[in-house]
Structure 1
Amino acid sequence: MRELRYNPLTGQWIMVSSTRKKRPWRPKDFCPFCPGNEETGYGWEVLLLPNRFPMLSFDAPRPERDGFYRRARAIGQCSVIVETPEHNIRDLDELSPKAMIRVVELWKNLTAELKKNPRVAYVSIFRNKGEEIGVSLTHPHGQLYATPFIPLKVRLKLENSRGYFKRYGECLFCRILREELWSERAVYENGDFVIFLPFFASWPFEIHIYPKRHVQWLTQLSRKELAGLADALRVATGTLNTVLGREMPYTMMLYQAPFRGTYDFYHLHVEFYPILGENGKIKYAAGIEMGTWDFTYDGVPEENAEKLRRACGEVVKRIDARGKCFT
Structure 2
Amino acid sequence: MDTFEFTHRRRNPLTGKWILVSPHRNNRPWLGATESVANDTLAAHDPSCPLCPGNTRANGEVNPVYSYTHVFKNDFGALTQQEVSEEANDPLFAHETTSGECRVMCFSPEHHKTLPELSLTELTAVIDTWQQQYLELAMQYKCIQIFENKGAIMGCSQPHPHGQIWAHNHLSTEISTEDTEQRAYFQQHGRSLLADYAQRELTQKSRVVFANAHWLVVVPFWAAWPFETLLISLDDIQHIGQLSQEQKETLAEALQILTIKYDNVFNCSFPYSMGWHNAPTDSEQPYWRLHAHFYPPLLRSATVKKHMVGYEMLGESQRDLTAETAAQILQAASVEHYKKNK
Equivalent in 209, 229, 232 of residue 187 of structure 1: 209
Matching residue of 1:30: 48
Pairing 1:82–2:100 present: no
Once the two structures are TM-superposed, the CA of residue 247 in structure 1 deviates from its matched residue by 2.2
Once the two structures are TM-superposed, the CA of residue 204 in structure 1 deviates from its matched residue by 0.9
Cα RMSD for the two superposed structures: 2.1
Matching residue of 1:13: none
User: 1:137 & 1:73 partners in 2: Cα distance?
Assistant: 30
Pairing 1:125–2:149 present: no
Shifted more, 123-132 versus 271-280: the winner is: 271-280
Equivalent in 154, 167, 170 of residue 146 of structure 1: 167
- Cα 1:65–1:168 change in 2 (3 A) is closer
Matching residue of 2:19: none
Once the two structures are TM-superposed, the CA of residue 60 in structure 1 deviates from its matched residue by 6.3
Equivalent in 165, 168, 185 of residue 186 of structure 2: 165
- Cα 1:208–1:71 change in 2 (3 A) is same
1:18-43 deviation digits (Å, cap 9, x = unpaired): xxxxxxxxxx9610111112331214
Q: Which amino acid aligns with 1:30?
A: S
Equivalent in 311, 315, 321 of residue 299 of structure 1: 321
- Paired residue secondary structure (2:292): strand
Q: Which amino acid aligns with 1:31?
A: C
Once the two structures are TM-superposed, the CA of residue 315 in structure 1 deviates from its matched residue by 5.2
Equivalent pair of 1:235/1:315 in contact (CA under 8 Å):
no
User: 1:102 & 1:76 partners in 2: Cα distance?
Assistant: 25
Matching residue of 2:246: 224
1:45-84 deviation digits (Å, cap 9, x = unpaired): 2100110001112246556979873443331010000111
Once the two structures are TM-superposed, the CA of residue 296 in structure 1 deviates from its matched residue by 0.6
Q: Mapping of 1:203-282 within 5 angstroms?
A: 203-280=225-302, 281-282=304-305
Equivalent pair of 1:210/1:269 in contact (CA under 8 Å):
yes
Once the two structures are TM-superposed, the CA of residue 179 in structure 1 deviates from its matched residue by 1.3
Equivalent pair of 1:187/1:312 in contact (CA under 8 Å):
no
Shifted more, 268-277 versus 184-193: the winner is: 184-193
Once the two structures are TM-superposed, the CA of residue 85 in structure 1 deviates from its matched residue by 0.6
Pairing 1:48–2:71 present: yes
1:281-325 deviation digits (Å, cap 9, x = unpaired): 111111222234x21111222111111001145459x7xxxxxxx
Q: Which amino acid aligns with 1:144?
A: I
User: 1:296 & 1:64 partners in 2: Cα distance?
Assistant: 36
Identity %: 30
Q: Mapping of 1:304-319 within 5 angstroms?
A: 304-314=326-336
- Cα 1:174–1:52 change in 2 (3 A) is same
Equivalent pair of 1:60/1:74 in contact (CA under 8 Å):
no
Pairing 1:101–2:124 present: yes
Once the two structures are TM-superposed, the CA of residue 266 in structure 1 deviates from its matched residue by 0.6
Pairing 1:73–2:97 present: yes
- The number of residue pairs the alignment matches comes to 286
Gaps of 5+ in 1: 1-27, 319-327
Instruction: Name the TM-score, length of structure 2 as normaliser.
Output: 0.79
Matching residue of 2:80: 57
